[in-house]
Homo-oligomer: A and B are copies of this chain.
């Protein structure tokens, strides 16, 4: 099934993402993880240095994905705030539907990172958020977005699709495409004046 993932480390990261999503980072033991990839716990250490390194790699990989999305959105600077925001929302929805488990660890388990990784992570997140904030502010000032507290709008928006990570299974009830085409009007409908 995943024959093309020949690298054992990649298998471990994928299994860890699922376990971290289902049980949480702290409640997932190295023995749990080892069982999931058919190894003894000690054998994991041939591929990774520590349990936390796994979390670091998952968080970093996803931070990069969001960062790339931000760079793409920056290229749209001739478009309206509304169009740029919609682009980012679609990006978030697609990330949720394409790589659910990994994004969930990223969303929920980053707090278990130790320093300096925790600070680095929070810095990247702040950067990303302030990029969205900028779009929101522009839209509010232009009068195309509802006039309200910027943070309130930002976090409500980001939070509103977080459930996807726990819930969505492509094609089970809804295709990823249907999901996107129903969700975007709901989100944007509340924001646009």
Contact = CB atoms under 8 A, between A and B. Distances in A.
A128 B54 CA distance: 37
Interface string A94-113: 00000000000000100110
Contacts of A171: none
B156 A163 contact: yes
A156 B183 contact: yes
Interface range for A: 35 or more
Interface of A: 23-27, 108, 111-112, 146, 148-149, 151-153, 155-164, 167, 173-174, 178-179, 182-183, 185-191
Contacts of A161: 156, 159
Nearest to A155: B163
Contacts of A157: 160
B186 A153 contact: yes
Contacts of A159: 159-163
A70 to B, nearest CB: 20
A16 to B, nearest CB: 15
Given A152-B182, A182-B152, A183-B152, A112 B173 contact: no
B163 A158 contact: yes
Contacts of A179: 152
A148 B23 contact: no
